[in-house]
Amino acid sequence: MCTTCGCEDHAHAPHPKGESSGWFRRVSLERSLLEKNDAFAARNRRHFQERGILALNLVSSPGSGKTSLLVATLERLAGSRPVAVVEGDQQTSRDADRIRAAGAPAIQINTGKGCHLDAHGVEHAILDLAPEDGALVFIENVGNLVCPAPFDLGENHKVVILSVTEGEDKPLKYPDMFAAADLMLLNKVDLLPHVDFDEEACLGFAKRVNPSLDVIRTSARSGEGLQAWIDWILARSAALAR
């Protein structure tokens, strides 16, 4: 079990000044696991490419509002595009139930003690969902800003959601996730008048970590930014057909 995040699926390397022999064994194990995952991810990516499917990996800390944001997104996309959703959580099917209630097919993956989805599990979910050619596939990862960062699922883009109820320094504290993402959704902006959050500083930190990161301000409650977010999705889906 990983002593850093509690995940049984992989090992994090301790500092080299610690137990050197154990460090080399753990680095080798993590490399092996990532290489195995990357092979499944490449297979997922070929599957998506061959069918013109846009796959988005939604990542965030717990409580960012990504499920509510996804539900609002699906409601606005209803009837216009085929969609499918893979839901990742340690336990329960509550999020998948919410997605199905919004009219989209969804499969729940419960990771147990695992802190991220992996490409093999996503492959099985996609085969079961069998999304249509040209569909939009949303993969809502387990709430965690550390473990999902290095695990490629075969997606076209990682989208990181950061809510204004969190600290504005999250991009500096968890840089790997923000560096891996192509888009940051700054969520729950309707709450800005009620929380102590420095938006300008947050955006500066995010751009320091990833200068090419796109940013959209969103709120599932007020609807702010949702059309811009949908436009971003549809533009990248259209680009696959060129």
Structure-token match 């893979």, residue found: 86
- Residue 224 placed within a domain: yes
pLDDT at 7: 56
Residue 40 lies in a domain: yes
Q: How does the average pLDDT of the chain come out, rounded? A: 90
Give the start-end residues of each E strand in the chain: 54-60, 83-89, 106-110, 136-140, 157-163, 183-187, 214-217
Q: Does residue 77 belong to any structural domain of this protein?
A: yes
Per-residue 3-state assignment (H helix, E strand, C coil) for 170-199: HHHHCHHHHHHCCEEEEECHHHHHHCCCCH
Q: Is 4 within the bounds of a domain? A: no
Listed as ranges, residues in the chain with pLDDT below 70 are: 1-30
In a domain, 203, yes or no: yes
Q: What is the pLDDT of residue 22?
A: 52
Is there a domain that residue 2 lies in? Answer: no
* The Cα angle at residue 109 between residues 104 and 110, in degrees rounded to 5: 135
Q: Please tell me the total count of domains within the chain.
A: 1
What CATH code is carried by the domain that includes residue 27?
3.40.50.300
The pLDDT value given to residue 27 = 57
**Percent above pLDDT 90 for the chain:** 82
Asked whether residue 232 is assigned to any structural domain, the reply reads: yes
Burial of 46 (0-12, 13-18, 19+ CB in 10 A): exposed
pLDDT in tens, 198-213: 999 999 999 999 999 9
Residue-number span of the structural domain to which 195 is assigned: 20-240
